[in-house]
Amino acid sequence: MEPLGLSLGLLALFVAFGFMVGVFFGFFGMGGSFLVTPALLILGYPAPVAIGSSMAFVFGTAVIATMKHHDVGEVDYKLGALMFVGIALGIEAGKVLVYGLEAIGRAELVVGTAYVLLLAAIGGLFVRSALRTGSEVTDDSSGDGNEEEIPEIATKIKSYNLPPMVTLADGSKASMWTISGVGGGVGVVSGFLGVGGGFIRMPAIYYLVGVPLAAAVGTSLFGALMSGAVGAFTYGLDGVVDLGVVTGLLAGSALGARIGSAATAYVDEDDVTIYFGVMLLLASFAVALGEFATWLEMPILDTMSFVLLVGSSAFVTVVIFYYGAQAVRTNDIDPTATARGDD
């Protein structure tokens, strides 16, 4: 019996992995996609299938996150729409790059290597952030929390009147070149790696376009929706999206995201950030092992790589549940916590 074209074991695996990815997405607001493509690569899916399926998964999770945030999120739809052309062209460029590498037999190697670096960089940032939080006294008067302020670099970029200029939802003006550049740049990364790209789009909208932080988060989510839709459509044109994989992952992640989001009311993020950072570093190592498995023709490394990726994800999920259960028992609830799953 092979529902959705997958064996029952493989389908269960995707549901379980999707669940863990969903917990991270709901709890940390990220991790929704940049674990999926590497997992599919390690399982032996060709790069275009892994990336295309991941883009369709991004679209599904972005739809769910948008429904969750539709009445609380602040979104600059005009800016999102203006970024669309850049995103579409960027994703197409990313896809052309993937197929170009596929034609010379190097797609899995290059995409895998890019993921080794990406996961190591993000994991390193999380670990550094966790270590800093642990060693520094929190200073609430640092002035970092004003969501209406825009950074100095954005003000400087906005001061260059490079036409055509457009008026944003907050009344300020931005060059269409900056907006298209941000959309195109993030689109290339999305199309090449199969990620939503929120981890670079949100900072780019805030620091380069100069949208206030609260609106930057919501607008980035809207951007993920468009990236996912365009990416899934673009790769779907070539018939490389595996709907069985996407369905299994979505079935698990939709549930996991609800639980992860609910856990933010109980679990202090600072308690588990270090585990998430170390997990991303291990994921980076796992992808590297997968690359060595192919290079050295040692299938045992592939198995180790997969066990490491799934095992570390399962461990962090259990840690979040453990802290959550402890907080529920002691009735330690943070009433100010808000739902995550931004992008």
Interface with another protein (CB under 8 A): 5, 56, 59-61, 63-64, 67-68, 229, 232-234, 236-243, 246-247, 250-251, 254-255, 258, 262, 325, 328-329, 331
The residue among 67 and 104 lying less far from another protein, judged by its C-beta, is 67
- What's the closest the beta carbon of residue 92 comes to another protein, in angstroms? 13
Q: Which amino acid is at 116?
A: V
Cα 135 from Cα 25, distance rounded (Å): 26
The residue among 242 and 269 lying less far from another protein, judged by its C-beta, is 242
The residue among 194 and 277 lying less far from another protein, judged by its C-beta, is 194
- Note whether 285 and 309 are within 8 A (CB): no
The residue among 41 and 287 lying less far from another protein, judged by its C-beta, is 41
Helix, strand, coil percentages in the chain from 3-state DSSP, rounded to 5 = 75, 0, 25
- What's the closest the beta carbon of residue 338 comes to another protein, in angstroms? 17
Helix then strand count (H, E) for the chain reads: 12, 2
- Note whether 200 and 192 are within 8 A (CB): no
- Note whether 34 and 27 are within 8 A (CB): no
CB-based contacts of 96: which residues, under 8 Å, 6+ apart? none
The residue among 120 and 328 lying less far from another protein, judged by its C-beta, is 328
- What's the closest the beta carbon of residue 9 comes to another protein, in angstroms? 19
Among residues 4, 29, 27, the alpha carbon closest in space to that of 342 is found at 29
The residue among 41 and 130 lying less far from another protein, judged by its C-beta, is 41
- What's the closest the beta carbon of residue 200 comes to another protein, in angstroms? 23
The residue among 184 and 256 lying less far from another protein, judged by its C-beta, is 256
Triad 144, 150, 155: Cα angle to 5°: 135
E strand or H helix at 175: strand 173-175
Alpha helices (runs of H) in 194-268, residue ranges in sequence order: 198-204, 213-236, 243-263
- For 211-250, letters b (16+ CB in 10 Å) and e give bbbebbbbbbbbbbbbbbbbbbbbbeeeebbbebbbbbbb
- What's the closest the beta carbon of residue 148 comes to another protein, in angstroms? 31
- What's the closest the beta carbon of residue 311 comes to another protein, in angstroms? 25
- What's the closest the beta carbon of residue 79 comes to another protein, in angstroms? 23
